[in-house]
Amino acid sequence: MDPVNKTTTLTSFNCTVDSSYGFVYYQISYCLIFSFGLASNLMALHHLWLTPRKLGSTAVYMANLAVVDLFFIVSLPLRIYYYYHRYHTVAWSPGRVFCLLTFALKYISLYGGIFFLACIGLDRYFAVVHPLWQWLRRIRTARMLSAGIWLLVLALSLCLPFLLSGASLSDQPCLLDPSSQRHRTLIMVALGMVEIAFILPAMLLFFSYCSVSRVLCKLAHRKKLHHQRTLTVIYWVLGVFMVCFVPYHINLLGYTLTHTGVVPSCSLAKATTFLHPVVLSLASTNCCLNPLIYYFSGSLVHKETAGKL
């Protein structure tokens, strides 16, 4: 769970930050995300389930994307329950198991979504830039890669909660304590892991976008129209990245560095604390936006060649 004291005093440089509005903000935003996210992802899985024999590699990644989104959606009632009680009873503590579970579900959705969005971008890259490398786009290959991503995401999602739990206040396991050097080291290790888990897929996605755009610019107008759906998918994937994940990870960097005292800037600490509920909610809305990638991709979720099986 995210550190959400109503006021926090950063003792390393005597700065008090106020995050009281976050309690109500999280409750409202998570209720909306839960409603829209649950409906849209169930509809996406329903449509994919109706035509299982026609699915291609793109659909495999989209189906996995919907599943990781559902992991986060399932955790939202727990998070709403947490913020409701923390708002009314500051001393209330939900227990270590509750915190580890909600942390793990959050990271499964967040970084599972990032990895599978990157896979969709790479899938479009091989379809347009290297169309002869069809073995990389077979359903069997997509399933094997998806299984590897699930193992990586589960390992990351189990490792991070234990790291953050070790840096939590002993009587309030959902709240981080950056006061000691030992805790600061654990928090910085966790920060490095999540930033790397974001930066590497983002680089792959932008590489795919630039490569596909460069190839399509050289094609005749008729052939460009044939690949219009590919551009639509990549635009949506990039849009989700830019709106949901980039602001969150930039703000998380400043938030963590100031709260651990690595960057002793009170103004930056106040700004990142104020923005933290906003960017975290934006990151969470990816579970509502991801199903739109399916609806705008159309026939790309089906087999494009007969030899992919």
Indicate the helix (H) or strand (E) that contains 158: helix 139-166
How many angstroms separate the CA atoms of 151 and 226, rounded?
36
Which among 88, 110, 98 has a CA at the least distance from the CA of 281? 110
How many angstroms separate the CA atoms of 284 and 308, rounded?
34
Q: What is the mean pLDDT of residues 239-268?
A: 88
Would you place residue 172 in the very low, low, confident or very high pLDDT band (cuts 50, 70, 90)? Answer: low
**Cα atoms in the Cβ-side hemisphere of radius 13 Å centred on 299:** 6
User: Residue 125 pLDDT > 80, yes or no?
Assistant: yes
Q: How far is C-alpha 242 from the chain's CA centre?
A: 12
Q: What is the dihedral sign for C-alpha 52, 58, 63, 66?
A: negative
**Which residues does residue 172 pair with via DSSP β-bridges, in sequence order?**
169
What is the architecture, at CATH level 2, of domain 20-301?
Answer: Up-down Bundle (1.20)
Give the model confidence (pLDDT) of 200-246 as tens digits: 999 998 888 888 888 877 765 555 555 666 777 778 888 888 899 99
**Which residues does residue 18 pair with via DSSP β-bridges, in sequence order?**
7
Would you place residue 303 in the very low, low, confident or very high pLDDT band (cuts 50, 70, 90)? Answer: very low
For residue 28, the one-letter residue type is I
Give me the pLDDT at residue 180, please: 60
Give the model confidence (pLDDT) of 22-46 as tens digits: 778 888 999 999 998 888 888 877 7
Model pTM score: 0.83
How many angstroms separate the CA atoms of 127 and 131, rounded?
5
How many angstroms separate the CA atoms of 193 and 104, rounded?
14
Give me the pLDDT at residue 11, please: 54
- The answer to whether the beta carbons of residues 7 and 17 sit under 8 Å apart is yes
How many angstroms separate the CA atoms of 236 and 290, rounded?
8
Give me the pLDDT at residue 236, please: 81
How many angstroms separate the CA atoms of 185 and 164, rounded?
10
Percent of the chain with pLDDT over 90: 17
Would you place residue 308 in the very low, low, confident or very high pLDDT band (cuts 50, 70, 90)? Answer: very low
Give the model confidence (pLDDT) of 78-95 as tens digits: 888 888 877 776 665 677
